[in-house]
Amino acid sequence: MEKRELVVIGAGPAGLTASIYGRRSGLDVLVLEKGVPGGQINLTDEIENWTGVIHASGPELAESFRKHAEHFGPEFRDAEVQKIEVKDGSKFVVTDNGTIEAEAIIVATGAKFRKLGVPGEEEFTGRGVSYCAVCDGAFFEEQEVAVIGGGNTAVEEALYLTQFASKVYIIHRRDSFRADKVAVERALSNDKIEVIWNTVVKEIAGDDMVTHLVLHNVKTQETSELPVAGVFVFVGMEPNAKFLGDMVDVAPGGWIKTNDRMETSVEGVFAAGDVRDKYLRQVITAAGDGATAAMAAYAYIAEQLHLRQKVFEPEHTFIFLYSSIDESQMGLASQLEELKSQVQDLVLIDGYKNSRMTEKLGIEEMPMMLELSKGKILKAEKVASAEEAKRFVGLS
Ligand SMILES: Cc1cc2nc3c(=O)[nH]c(=O)nc-3n(C[C@H](O)[C@H](O)[C@H](O)COP(=O)(O)OP(=O)(O)OC[C@H]3O[C@@H](n4cnc5c(N)ncnc54)[C@H](O)[C@@H]3O)c2cc1C
């Protein structure tokens, strides 16, 4: 079976950045992508908040990210990941194009638009209903369209649509936008944009193509019809994480929970970018997550290799396990450093930093001396002094 050091799932800003950091750390990196590299930014015409670039189109930025990643030579492969399996501590990425064993995995699969869930939405998708203004806006030259939603994406995409449409209605269920001030001011000062507040869509109707929306005002309870040729739905996102089943812990909505090293609840599986539970889903935060995840994955792989060689593989070894956040244990560790010249197979390990290994060995207290054979504990003893440690290794 194919075996790789780091497998990155998804080539959006998070995955591409992770591949750059992974390669620059010397890892063998495989990036799996089921669609177009660059991810969601391919769907937007304007990015004005990527530091250092005042304005770029999404596809331009996506292209520069991809070229940057390619420069450091990760392998890119077209594949859709169907699941991740963990068996006896080994991790496998199952794709529609074979299975790969990985030392570490970064899930950077991003998010997708949430559906409205009203009658007519499925039926008219591609026939007037769209989730991408950049992809479909030009089809509505001199026609009236509606944008559903009240966040940044809804307001910015409504502005983009004014290039083509004769009128753009923004239908929002509340009486104010969640979008940022600059975007809102631009939208409200555009003559082609009209906001319909406190209103939800009950139905998307038409014959061959969309002809109108059935609206419901949540304040007055009135129902009305709005003739439009197109509907652009921007009512939030959901994570692309269903393929993981229940293997990692998630927050409400299915967003993957991580700590600040991007570690998920499964050892060696990291998550970065929009797919994880976080405050701000943007290109810049996705890239930052990707960098962190790759560096944490690098540390994890190095640690696993070190531990395998020092703890789990040797025929015989003595281990002193200590905690680096305890001053007296640190003092004892530096005394025992001197013992290493007399006891060749003595290894000192910071059990605080290597907590997963400590768990694996079933050790709950530190400082502790262990005698192991191929990872199996032959003897374990809590030690409080260098003398006790010496006795344990048979030196006094
Ligand atoms: C219309 C729109 C406008 C936006 N405007 C801005 C903006 O102005 N500024 C800004 O900072 N952000 C903007 N964003 C948000 C920004 O695009 C995202 O925050 C960012 O792309 C997240 O990056 P990511 O790498 O986490 O995920 P994504 O960009 O979603 O990339 C994930 C990648 O994973 C792939 N993938 C998913 N599942 C699988 C699988 N099972 N197997 C293999 N591959 C898989 C996908 O095909 C995709 O390429 C916008 C988003 C949209 C949709």
Per-residue pLDDT tens digits for 201-260: 999 999 999 999 999 999 999 999 999 999 999 998 999 999 999 999 999 999 999 999
Rounded Cα distance, 292 and 223, in Å: 50
Supply 317's token pair: 């070894």
Active centre residues (catalytic): 132, 135-136
Confidence of residue 163 (pLDDT cuts 50, 70, 90): very high
Share of the chain above pLDDT 70, in %: 100
Question: How far are the Cα atoms of 27, 77, 247, 259, 355 from residue 86, in angstroms, in the given order?
Answer: 21, 22, 9, 20, 19
* Region 383-389 average pLDDT: 93
- What totals of helices (H) and strands (E) does the chain contain, helices first? 9, 21
Residue scoring higher pLDDT (26 or 47): 26
**What 3-state class would DSSP assign to 201?**
strand
Torsion, CA 232, CA 238, CA 243, CA 245, rounded to 10: -150
CATH number of the domain residue 355 falls in: 3.40.30.10
Is 123 part of any domain?
no
Confidence of residue 45 (pLDDT cuts 50, 70, 90): confident
pLDDT of residue 383: 95
pLDDT of residue 303: 85
* Region 108-136 average pLDDT: 93
Q: Is 61 in the pocket of ligand 1 (CB under 6 A)?
A: no
Task: Give the least confident one: 309-313, 320-324, 369-373.
Answer: 309-313
Looking at the predicted structure, is the pLDDT value of residue 153 above 80? yes
Q: How far is the CA of 42 from the centre of ligand 1 (A)?
A: 8
pLDDT of residue 341: 86
From 19, 31, 41, the mutation candidate for ligand 1 (largest count of ligand atoms within 8 A of CB) is 41
The HSE-up count of residue 393 (CA atoms within 13 Å, CB side) is: 23
Looking at the predicted structure, is the pLDDT value of residue 324 above 80? yes
Q: Is 286 in the pocket of ligand 1 (CB under 6 A)?
A: yes
Is 122 part of any domain?
no
Is 118 part of any domain?
no
Same domain, 273 and 345: no
**Number of domains within the chain:** 3
pLDDT of residue 48: 86
Q: Is 41 in the pocket of ligand 1 (CB under 6 A)?
A: yes
Query: For atom 19 of ligand 1, which residue has the closest CA?
Result: 282
**Range(s) of the domain holding residue 164:** 129-233
Same domain, 161 and 203: yes
* Region 97-123 average pLDDT: 96
Looking at the predicted structure, is the pLDDT value of residue 30 above 90? yes
From 48, 186, 283, the mutation candidate for ligand 1 (largest count of ligand atoms within 8 A of CB) is 283
pLDDT of residue 88: 77
* Region 160-173 average pLDDT: 97
Same domain, 181 and 280: no
For 49-83, the pLDDT digits (tens) are 999 999 899 999 999 999 999 999 999 999 999 99
Q: How far is the CA of 13 from the centre of ligand 1 (A)?
A: 7
Q: How far is the CA of 8 from the centre of ligand 1 (A)?
A: 14
Same domain, 107 and 251: yes
Query: For atom 38 of ligand 1, which residue has the closest CA?
Result: 109
pLDDT of residue 354: 81
pLDDT, the chain, mean: 94
Q: How far is the CA of 257 from the centre of ligand 1 (A)?
A: 18
**What 3-state class would DSSP assign to 360?**
helix
Q: Is 33 in the pocket of ligand 1 (CB under 6 A)?
A: yes
From 7, 40, 112, the mutation candidate for ligand 1 (largest count of ligand atoms within 8 A of CB) is 40
pLDDT of residue 355: 80
pTM: 0.81
Same domain, 186 and 286: no
Mark which of 259, 283, 307 sits at the end of a domain. 307
Looking at the predicted structure, is the pLDDT value of residue 356 above 80? no
Confidence of residue 89 (pLDDT cuts 50, 70, 90): confident
Same domain, 99 and 6: yes
* Region 267-287 average pLDDT: 95
Choose among 159, 134, 145, 135: nearest CA to 204: 145
CB-based contact 45:56 (threshold 8 Å): no
Q: Is 12 in the pocket of ligand 1 (CB under 6 A)?
A: yes
Mark which of 266, 288, 307 sits at the end of a domain. 307
| CA-CA-CA-CA torsion sign (282, 287, 289, 290) | positive
Same domain, 72 and 7: yes
Q: Is 100 in the pocket of ligand 1 (CB under 6 A)?
A: no
Is 10 part of any domain?
yes
Q: How far is the CA of 111 from the centre of ligand 1 (A)?
A: 6
Buried b or exposed e, range 21-43, using 16+ CB within 10 angstroms? bbbebebbbbbbbbeebbbbbbb
CB-based contact 321:370 (threshold 8 Å): yes
pLDDT of residue 396: 75
> Around Cβ 319, how many Cβ atoms within 10 Å?
23
Same domain, 107 and 242: yes
Looking at the predicted structure, is the pLDDT value of residue 44 above 90? no
pLDDT of residue 15: 98
Query: For atom 39 of ligand 1, which residue has the closest CA?
Result: 109
Is 60 part of any domain?
yes
Q: Is 284 in the pocket of ligand 1 (CB under 6 A)?
A: yes
Residue that has been written with the tokens 């290109």 in this structure: 283
Which atom of ligand 1 lies at the shortest distance from residue 13's CA?
A: 25
Q: Is 136 in the pocket of ligand 1 (CB under 6 A)?
A: no
Q: Is 5 in the pocket of ligand 1 (CB under 6 A)?
A: no
